[in-house]
Chains A and B, each alone.
Chain A
Amino acid sequence: MNNIFDALEICLNELENGADMETVLARFPDLAVELRPILVASVQARNMAAPEPSQDAIRRGRARVMQRAAEMRESRIAPRKRVIPALQRLVLSFSLAAMLLLSSTGLLNASASALPGESLYPVKRTWEGLRLLLIFNKEAREHLADQFENERLHEVNELLVEGRDEVIQFAGVFMQVNGKNYVSGIPVILPADTPLPANGMAVVITGQTNSQGSVELLSFEQLPDGSVVPTGEPIEIELEDESDSESGSGSDNEAVDPRYSMEGTLQAVSATSLVLNGLTVYLDNAEIDGELCLGVQVEVEGYTAADGRFIVTKVKTKGSCSADNNNAVNENSNTNDDSDSNDNSDDSNDNGDDDSNDNGDDDSNNNDGGGGGGGDDNGGGDDNSGDSGDDGSGGDDD
């Protein structure tokens, strides 16, 4: 039986080399009858051979394979992102969000103003990420994302104002003005060999804030045209080089930082300081317009001294004092000036009690009479005044 298999193989090879079927069969006369149909079938099997694929087919298949390869490369580059399966991640974020909402809005509120490098900053960013994750309306999400981008810009500004040294990343519009580089209004120092982006190009900047009020570029990435990035608001940044270049007014008094003014209810008065809006300001040969007394609305003007104290150069009162308020202030200031701290605390306790009682009555009278007092708040104001009067005097003694 082996014979016929071998014979077939010989015939097949000869046919393939172009021999005629009859000639081939003639070599195996005994087997010819059996072999003939087999050889015919072999010819038909050969005729069935598929044509070469078309160029289109090759291209299509190639594109498919290469795309799959690219996907595999990508998924291999970032396999860690998928450590937590999608569903678990969703559940996790929901429960985290719920926990944060229910238990610690205080933490979130506290983190809202956190800056890069601070311990609460990760909380802030995580919360932002959660909020984006939990919004399913596309427009609203984009709006929120824009808001967060603006927040990044704001944070950088804050860091620059405080002169802190942190690594930051933010998106903005690149501009070159007078040979200086800015991204959405933030001065950026580029290393010498960095290729400049075009003016108006949307970029993502990674850099380090420095104490000179600018960002030292570590790297940047150009965003595709049409990317929405915060353009930055006209934020006043008190920068040395800027104030120098802009006008002479900023450099009038170098030791003095920007001037400010504010309004508030006077909470405490001493010979050298005032407390309003919970903030202690120091009098420096202040020009006082009107009568100072607790509870009165005042407008102060001044500047921030090099040591961080707020120095007041001008005080203007709005409205008038009641007689009792005036006395209270005087008593307070007198006792504070005269006595030791131990005595002071006793006195102030006494005073506090007396004052609040008296004031309560007086104030209500005043209110009935149509006076401009602040009502019950004044009582609180008095208590405060006793305390902060002490503080003030302590400061004086030192």
Chain B
Amino acid sequence: MIIYLNIILKDKNWDLGINKKMSIADGKQELQDLRTIDPKTIGAIYDQYFSEVYRYVLYRIGDQALAEDMTSDVFIRLLEAAQNGRGPQTNLKGWLIGTATHIVTDHMRKKYRRPEEEISDSLPDLKPDPASEVDQREQNRIVQDAYAQLTPEQQHVLALRFGQGYSLEETATFMNKNVNAVKALQFRALAALQREIGEVNYE
């Protein structure tokens, strides 16, 4: 329990090196604490990370009610994983975001297999007025529709970098890639987004 809170605090400072050392040394103890399903530990983890995970999920899927459910699913998976002796080995936040990514991807795959609604009828021939004149909400909807057309990896990098506001280095850690790869990935993702939204003359 104490070690867990320690790690939560360390997470805040986001010193990954220290975190990794800690976890490798105390991984078993950490898992043990979570495996007891102690309400205090669970409550503390939830309070610490719910908002962050929720914002990631909502960015990816754009549906509040669904995002709520899926975010609590992430924490329930954490409980189950801990009980089964799997669970976060290196860092907790990374594990949570990673799990959220899996849940979102699963959801997208199901949705793709059984599309419930038209995805992009407004996109192709849309010639948006100058941004200043377009209702921000409408603009957001357009961006969201465009975003939905991106590949899962492109969506992921944009959600981390611009949705969560993580630094390049943090994003690289979450994606398990090196910094240069993320630089290229974010460039292509933004280019794709811009292509989907359509040319916007900004002047």
Q: Does B165 contact A (CB under 8 A)?
A: yes
The verdict on A38 contacting B183 (CB below 8 Å), with A48-B147, A48-B163, A50-B55 known, is no
Q: How far is the CB of B59 from chain A (nearest CB, A)?
A: 5
A49, B55: Cβ atoms under 8 Å?
A: yes
CB pair A47 B71 closer than 8 Å: no
Whether the Cβ atoms of B42 and A40 lie closer than 8 Å is no
A38 contact set on B, CB distance < 8 A: 187, 190-191, 194
Out of B54, B83, B168, B194, which one reaches A53, CB within 8 Å? B54
- Which secondary structure dominates where chain A touches chain B? helix
Decide if A66 is an interface residue (CB 8 Å cutoff): yes
A5 at the B interface (CB under 8 A) = yes
B contact patch SS: helix
B46 within 8 A of A: yes
A46 at the interface (CB under 8 A from B): yes
- Would you call A138 an interface residue if the criterion is a C-beta within 8 Å of the partner chain's C-beta atoms? no
B54 touches A73 (CB 8 A): no
Q: Which of A56-64, A85-93, A377-385 contacts B (4 or more CB under 8 A)?
A: A56-64
Q: Determine whether the beta carbon of B43 is less than 8 Å from that of A66.
A: yes
CB neighbours (8 Å) of A62 from chain B are 43, 46-47, 50
Residues in A whose Cβ lies below 8 Å from that of B136: 47
In the complex, the number of residue pairs spanning A and B with C-beta atoms less than 8 Å apart equals 130
Neighbouring B residues of A21 by C-beta, 8 Å: 202
Decide yes or no: A65 and B75 within 8 Å by CB, A8-B186, A53-B51 being known contacts.
yes
A72 & B79 in contact (Cβ 8 Å cutoff): yes
B76 close to A57 (CB less than 8 A): no
Docked complex Cα distance between A9 and B59 (Å): 21
For A57, what are the chain B residues with a Cβ–Cβ distance below 8 Å? 54, 64, 68
- Contacts beyond the supplied A8-B187, A37-B202, A38-B190: 8 A-B pairs with Cβ under 8 Å: A37-B194, A42-B162, A42-B190, A44-B143, A47-B143, A50-B54, A51-B55, A62-B50
Q: Which residues of B contact A (CB under 8 A)?
A: 37, 39, 42-43, 46-47, 50-51, 54-56, 58-59, 64, 67-68, 71-72, 75-76, 79-80, 83, 136, 139-140, 143-144, 147, 158, 161-165, 168, 180, 183-184, 186-187, 190-191, 193-194, 197, 199-200, 202
